[in-house]
Each structure stands twice: as C-alpha cells, then as structure tokens.
Amino acid sequence: MAEGAENSGGKKKLIIIIALVVLLLGGGAGAWFFFMGDDAPEAEVAEAAPLAQPAKLEPAYYVILPQPFIFNVTGDKRDRLVQVKVQLMVRGDSNESTASQHIPLIESTLLQTFGAATVEQLRTPNGRADLRQQALSSVQNAMVKVSGNQVVERVLFTGFVMQ
C-alpha cells in the first residue's frame, strides 16, 4: 500500500513537471514570435517610403545665431532668467544665404516668441518642444513675408539654461 501512495505521488510530480515544461516552451515560442515578428509590413513601409519623399532632397545646413538669447520669464513664485542657444536647420545653399542675410529679423522674432513663455512651460520637455515649434512657426511666417519662402526647416536648441 505504501508503494501505491508513493507511485501516485510520483505520477503527480511527473505530470506537474511535464505541464511546466510545456508552458515554458509555449511561452518561449510566443516570445520568439512576438520579438521576431513578421517582416512583411516593414518591407511594405520600406517600399512606400521612397515614393513619399521628394525626388531630390537638398543637403541640410545649420545657421548658427551669433549670440545666445537671454530673457526673463514669469513664474508662479518668482521670475526666472533663461539662456537659449539656437541654430537653424535649412535646406540648400540659397536658403542658407537667405537665413544668414535675415539674422536680425530671425533674432527679433525668436525673442518675441521666447518672451511669451512661462516658467511652467519651460520646466517640462513637452513645454520646451512646444516653444521650439512656436519659434519655428514664427520664424517661418516672418521669412515668408520677406522672402516668399519658409527658408527654415527646424529651430534647434543647442543650449538651454534656466535659473
């Protein structure tokens, strides 16, 4: 009788071990399929991407604004002093020369945009990204008025200090 009890206990252990092995193998296979995925959608995207891009993309140039922007921003408890170093990304030689020619207009436009910011906006990465987008829109609008072209593709903050 003792052998029958031991034998049924051994069978239960064997069934549990087999079930765990099957679960582990199934989980491993599922993880492999999840991480390896199907390459077909990526191939479709890769084929569609060249069609969406313009035929000839001009090289990017960076126009460095000579002085960092230093301005005050209002806050809930006290005002803060902010320093931002800015570079402009343009495409092509003609846009580079146009941006360089109109640096005083660009600086004035950026200073007006930065002056409207608040401490709460500048504390968060999303707020700084919003400010960068507002700066881009302002600069592009100003450049359209004087040159008929947007000229600037991106406004880049290469240095940002808030005290």
Residue-wise pLDDT for 19-69, tens only, equals 877 777 777 766 656 666 555 445 444 454 454 454 578 899 999 998 999
Token pair for 150: 């947007």
- What pLDDT, on a 0 to 100 scale, did the predictor assign at position 58? 87
Cα three-residue angle 45-151-117, rounded to 5 degrees? 90
Query: Are the C-beta atoms of 72 and 79 separated by less than 8 Å?
Result: yes
- What pLDDT, on a 0 to 100 scale, did the predictor assign at position 32? 59
Q: At what angle do helices 103-115 and 125-147 cross, to 10 degrees?
A: 140
Query: Are the C-beta atoms of 127 and 134 separated by less than 8 Å?
Result: no
Residue type, 102: H
For the chain, give every domain's residue range: 2-52, 60-162
Query: Which candidate, 58, 63, 104, 101, places its Cα nearest to that of 85?
Result: 63
- CATH class of this structure's domain 60-162: alpha beta
